[in-house]
Amino acid sequence: MGRITEDLIRRNAEHNDSVIFSLEELSLHQQEIERLENVDKWCQDLKILYLQNNLIAKIENINRLKKLQYLNLALNNIEKIENLEGCEGLEKLDLTVNFVGELSSIKILRYNINLKEIFLMGNPCADFEGYREFVVATLPQLQRLDGKEIERSERIKALQNYPVIEEKIREQEKAYCLKRSKEKGEAERKLQEEEEKEKQKENKSKPGFDGRWYTDINNTIPYSVLQRDEKEHSEIEESKVNKKTPDELEKEFWEKPTLFSPESRLETHRYLEKQRKDKEKLSDKKKKEKPPRTLITADGRVLNINEPKLDFSLKDDEENNQIVLDLAVYRFMDTSLMDVNVQPTYVRVLVKGKVGEVISANRKARTPEKNNEKNKLQQKKRSKQIEKLEVDPSKYSFPDVTNIVQEKKPASRKIQAKSPVVPCAENSDFEDNPEVPPLI
């Protein structure tokens, strides 16, 4: 059942920026509200209040709404007009299709001097003999009743016959009250029977012991197995007793004749509520939980999974004997939301609880000996490519400084320096080379 809460009022006060203390118009129709409450505390400036098509059984807690001009309580379970004396500004009251049987309760509206129009059609009192004349004579300030204007001649005639009409109305009210008391007793008895049936169903689905195991002489039976067996047994018995399909039961419920009473409305509401809950349970059962992700198969094969759909690249650097994983993650994401797990055969990255990548390392790992041999070969290749700087003073060469400035640039040529001999006059093997310029 719905209740009038602050959150409900704020959600229906969007036209006033969800501000409720200055609210002048409020619509709470079709909210399954059972009790009229809290409106007079939070919305004292209300002028228009819509509460039609709910389950309100009593007019209450609106006496402090001094500015209220229009109150709509159509299609509810109201049986008596009361607690409206404080609504000084009330001009229009709608009680269409309720259960007002005490027509004499309309006398309290005499104090609402601004009341111009009232709707009582669809109530049991509207079928009373002399109903219109009684209302017209009782409320002299009224101008319209059930959408029909009250003429002056009609009011004079109603006032003249008022004593006779009032006596007839009281007799009809007494008969209606006796009828209602019987209906209430029958409805309470029926409700108790339904509650007992529900309890019996619940007791059938439960074992006699509260323990987790049921022990007999021969063996011990798990509690869950015993509960399942008893439930299946009860379902079989119910199916034997009641062989009607759900569609047939629903058709029977809606075609069954019922009295026009607040209890029948509540029964219909409970039936619809039960159907809704049953559908929700069935939908919950149909919803299958997603199976867990299979990251590694039974035969040990690692699967490549990209659950968050992140861009990545995987490079195999054979020269350095390493695998490089470049993974693009979300911008401004905290590193605490990432978890990297590196294994010999795969890499697992969890990004915000989702499996980012599971990359299998398929190539074989190299042995240390082969790696050492390869490293030696690479060092030899590098050593051949590197030119060493000569520091031996006995080995040197000079450029030709005589031809530095030339009109035409000659083709570049490489000077292949022969291994020169150190010039020394004391050496007997000394030979003077004319191509070598003299020392300065």
Cα–Cα distance measured from residue 102 to residue 119, given in angstroms and rounded to the nearest whole number: 15
Q: What is the pLDDT of residue 166?
A: 92
The predicted-structure confidence for 353-410, as pLDDT tens digits, reads as follows 666 555 555 544 444 444 556 566 666 655 555 555 455 555 555 555 556 555 555 5
CA triple 94-98-100, angle to 5 deg? 95
Structural contact between residues 168 and 137, judged by C-beta atoms closer than 8 angstroms: no
Cα–Cα distance measured from residue 67 to residue 255, given in angstroms and rounded to the nearest whole number: 45
Structural contact between residues 214 and 220, judged by C-beta atoms closer than 8 angstroms: yes
Beta strands in 81-184 (DSSP E): 92-94, 117-119, 144-145, 148-149
Taking alpha carbons only, the member of 297, 251, 243 closest to residue 271 is: 251
Q: What is the pLDDT of residue 365?
A: 41
DSSP code, position 29? T
3-state DSSP call for residue 170?
A: helix
Q: What is the pLDDT of residue 277?
A: 77
* CA distances in angstroms from 404 to 399, 411, 438, listed in the order given: 9, 13, 17
Pairing of strands 70-72, 354-360: unpaired
Taking alpha carbons only, the member of 131, 125, 171 closest to residue 148 is: 131
Q: What is the pLDDT of residue 67?
A: 92
Structural contact between residues 51 and 75, judged by C-beta atoms closer than 8 angstroms: no
Q: Which tokens sit at 217?
A: 């002489």
Mean pLDDT per segment of 10 residues, for the chain of length 440 residues?
Answer: 84 82 89 88 90 91 91 92 91 93 92 93 92 94 93 93 93 90 83 75 55 47 55 58 64 67 78 77 67 74 77 82 83 82 81 63 47 61 53 54 55 50 56 74
Q: What is the pLDDT of residue 78?
A: 92
Pairing of strands 338-342, 346-351: antiparallel
Residue 118 phi/psi, 5-degree rounding, is: -145, 145
Report residue 191 CA to chain centroid gap: 35
Structural contact between residues 150 and 136, judged by C-beta atoms closer than 8 angstroms: yes
Q: What is the pLDDT of residue 153?
A: 93
Q: What is the pLDDT of residue 118?
A: 95
The predicted-structure confidence for 193-204, as pLDDT tens digits, reads as follows 877 777 776 665
Residue 70 phi/psi, 5-degree rounding, is: -135, 125
Q: What is the pLDDT of residue 70?
A: 95
Q: What is the pLDDT of residue 368?
A: 44
Q: Which tokens sit at 110?
A: 């005499």
Q: What is the pTM of this model?
A: 0.55
Taking alpha carbons only, the member of 106, 30, 24 closest to residue 69 is: 24
Cα–Cα distance measured from residue 240 to residue 234, given in angstroms and rounded to the nearest whole number: 10
The owner of tokens 């402090």 is 64
Cα–Cα distance measured from residue 55 to residue 78, given in angstroms and rounded to the nearest whole number: 9
Q: Which residues contact 96 (CB under 8 A, 6 or more apart)?
A: 74, 75, 119, 120, 121, 122, 123
The predicted-structure confidence for 119-140, as pLDDT tens digits, reads as follows 999 999 999 999 999 999 999 9
Structural contact between residues 20 and 10, judged by C-beta atoms closer than 8 angstroms: yes
